[in-house]
Amino acid sequence: MKSILNYGLNLLKENPVFGLYLGICSTLAITINLNNALGMGVSVIAILTVSNIIISLIRNITPDEIRIPVYIVVIATLVKAVELLIKAYAPAIDAALGVFIPLIVVNCIILGRAEAFASKNGVAASALDGLNMGVAYTLSLVAMSLIRQILATGIVNFTNPFTNVEVFSVTLIPSQFTIPIFSGPIGAFLTFALLAAGVSAIRNHQPKLKEAK
């Protein structure tokens, strides 16, 4: 239980999205509902883990001066492969996310982790780091999309992307009390700002707690 609490606290303090502001372009655009957030999150977990593994495997044979071009080629190939797979097996996600699947290539998290971690550590550690960062990213996306979806439509639903069958649908707020602007740009920026401020407040609070002890 304590380790889960520690993990959760670490997630808040070193959150790649709300703490380091990496990969915010797709965060703001995708998080309209839970389906999109999970679709994007799972894709990023897959791409991040596999790219970390590959880059860690070739880290000793790539010349030091052209690391970045090699990483970009690896990541671009992976993203294109994932995009083609999604187009074939989960067309609902492709229709919802649109151009943001190819834009995973320039998601700062993937290239950033490759450069900072996978190029210096072994395969198992890099794979674990990729999973970790991917899960942190997905949880941030899910948090933001739940807030936006509940406030904007009052309904939380999830559809299986492979079979287009609705898995569950819960109405939490009656439709008279919903605030539709949370689906649009204003709501996106506002939610993100409040979540980022929350994470920043927790970060500022932590050292004071330790001093008080």
Partner 1 sequence: MEAILYLAALGGFYGLVYFLNHKTPRPEGCEEIEATCSSCSLGHCGNHPSQQIKEIKNA
Partner 2 sequence: MELFSLFFSAVVINNVVLTKFLGMCPLLGVSRKTSSALGMGAAVVFVIFGSSVFTYILYYNVLVPLSLEYMDLITFILVIAAFVQFVELVLKKYSTVLYKALGIYLPLITTNCVVLYVTLINITEGFTFVEMVVYSLATPIGFMMVLYIFSTIRERLDYADVPNAFKGNPIALIVAAIMAGIFTSFVGLI
Q: Which residues contact 88 (CB under 8 A, 6 or more apart)?
A: none
- Work out the burial of residue 36: count CB atoms within 10 Å of its CB; fewer than 13 is exposed, 13-18 middle, 19 or more buried: buried
Tell me whether residue 72 or residue 156 sits nearer to partner 2 (CB atom): 72
Element housing 168 (H / E) = strand 165-171
46 near partner 2 (CB under 8 A): no
Distance from CA of residue 127 to its chain's centroid? 16
SS3 166: strand
For residues 40 and 82, the answer to whether their CB atoms sit within 8 Å is no
Enumerate residues 184-213 that contact partner 2 by CB under 8 A: 184-190, 192-194, 196-198, 200-201, 204
Contact map string, positions 78 to 117, toward partner 1, x by CB under 8 A: ------------------------------x--xx-xxx-
Minimum separation from the CB atom of position 70 to partner 1 (A) = 8
Stretch that binds partner 1, among 15-23, 90-98, 156-164, 179-187 (CB under 8 A): 15-23
Tell me whether residue 8 or residue 184 sits nearer to partner 2 (CB atom): 184
* Per-residue tokens: 68: 């970045």
Stretch that binds partner 1, among 17-25, 93-101, 160-168, 176-184 (CB under 8 A): 17-25
Phi, psi values for residue 160, rounded to 5°: -65, 120
Enumerate residues 93-152 that contact partner 2 by CB under 8 A: 99, 102-103, 105-106, 108, 111
Q: What is the C-alpha to C-alpha distance for residues 100 and 108, in angstroms, rounded to an integer?
A: 13
* Per-residue tokens: 172: 């939490």
Of 1, 9, 17, 16, nearest in space to 205 by CA: 9
Minimum separation from the CB atom of position 173 to partner 1 (A) = 36
Which residues of this chain interact with partner 1, rule CB under 8 A? Answer: 20-22, 64-66, 68-73, 108, 111-112, 114-116
Which residues of this chain interact with partner 2, rule CB under 8 A? Answer: 21-22, 24-26, 28-29, 69, 72-73, 76-77, 79-80, 83-84, 99, 102-103, 105-106, 108, 111, 184-190, 192-194, 196-198, 200-201, 204
